[in-house]
Amino acid sequence: MDFSIGELARRTEVKVPTIRYYEQIGLLPPPPRTEGQQRRYGKNATARLAFIKHARELGFDIEAIRALLSLQDNPDQSCSVADRIAKARLAEVEERIASLNALRTELQRMVKECASGRVAECRVIDTLADSSHGHGRLVET
Amino acid sequence: MDFSIGELARRTEVKVPTIRYYEQIGLLPPPPRTEGQQRRYGKNATARLAFIKHARELGFDIEAIRALLSLQDNPDQSCSVADRIAKARLAEVEERIASLNALRTELQRMVKECASGRVAECRVIDTLADSSHGHGRLVET
DNA sequence: GTAGTCCCTATAGTGACTAGAGGTTCAAGA
DNA sequence: TCTTGAACCTCTAGTCACTATAGGGACTAC
């Protein structure tokens, strides 16, 4: 109880500058300070930061997390909003998995057919140069 | 033959500012200009841009593409470098797919268990608040 | 000649941090 | 009590791969 930002960073495995950044954008409330202006945290901050960290690991963006946190702060509301956010994220993830599977197939083919000879015969280069490969939104953003 | 940047954008489905950006960072050579300083492109530029576009769709970053292009420009070298780049990218993609599958499972569970009641019983919020979920690097970067 | 579309450069903004400079505070040992 | 050195502070700028905006100039069709 009542520890420094470095200790919070160690406990949650979130880097110190990232914690300050979350405070700056309003995901974490400004904590009390020592006389010398150093931040002091307690159990609540640890839980809230763990929540944020886990949500980030699940790929929720900051705005989604902001919405989820405000739900958590008002536990008497309907959770249909949380449900909607999670469903949207699930759909994104499933789409991403499908894209990456297509991508893996193409990369595997490229690698398999590359005999590591000269570039002139290289399938990796050839495949990339072949403009017939149209597939929207494969790139990870 | 000999068309504007807008026409190149239409043919390759790469946006105009993106084309100028690729020129600025040296992926595309500076093209000839009209008297009024407008860019004029030909077949070579189209092929090179299609190569870049495809590589980006496959998730190669700009530096990898720079390396691949320089191989393409010198077709007498060994293509082991290209092979290595493609293999590294394949490994990344496979790791990413594994992470996303884990993620999907967790999201599916969250959504399934959310009865859309009050937030107090919401599994979405609960799951995120549960700090026992340690899994490294699930987040897409 | 003029309207309207396209093009030009240059700069700033995006998201989610990360790195650095330059200075201050804290905790532990002598 | 003093000193050392790690940890802390703020502020600014940089990352990646674009994207958007401002304020203008060029080109094409009528």
Q: Is residue B108 part of a domain?
A: yes
- B79 vs A: CB within 8 A: yes
Q: What interface predicted TM-score (ipTM) does this complex get?
A: 0.70
Are the CB atoms for A51 and A15 separated by under 8 Å?
no
Are residues A19 and A55 located together in one domain of the fold? yes
Q: Is A134 a member of any domain?
A: no
- Residue A15 φ/ψ, nearest 5 degrees: -70, 150
Task: State whether B86 and A107 contact (CB < 8 Å).
Answer: yes
C-alpha dist (Å) from residue A130 to A60, A111, A124, B50, B127? 35, 15, 10, 8, 45
* pLDDT single digits (tens) A51-105: 999 888 878 889 989 988 888 887 777 778 888 888 888 888 888 788 778 878 8
- Residue in A90, A108, A121 nearest the CB of B107: A90
Measured between its terminal Cα atoms, the distance across chain B in Å is 39
**Which positions of chain C lie under 7 Å from any protein Cβ?**
6-10, 15-20, 24-26
Same domain, B60 and B96: no
C-alpha atoms less than 13 angstroms from C-alpha of B63 in its C-beta half-sphere:
1
Nearest-angstrom CA–CA distance, A51 and A55: 6
> Tokens 């490294």 identify what position?
B136
State the pLDDT confidence band at A38, using cuts at 50, 70 and 90.
Answer: very high
Amino acid at B96: R
Rounded to a whole number, what is the distance in Å from the CA of A106 to chain B's nearest CA?
Answer: 9
Q: Choosing among B107, B123, B138, which should be mutated to test the A contact, i.e. which has the most A CBs within 10 A?
A: B107
- Nearest Cα neighbor of B64 from B45, B86, B80 is B86
Structural domain count, chain A: 2
Burial profile A111-121: b = 16 or more Cβ within 10 angstroms, e = fewer: beebeeeebee
B13-60 residue pLDDT tens? 999 999 999 999 999 999 999 999 999 999 999 999 999 998 888 778
Give me the domain span that covers residue B115: 86-129
If asked whether residues B48 and B13 sit together in one domain, one would say: yes
The verdict on B55 and B95 lying in the same domain is no
Residues B69 and B90 in one domain: no
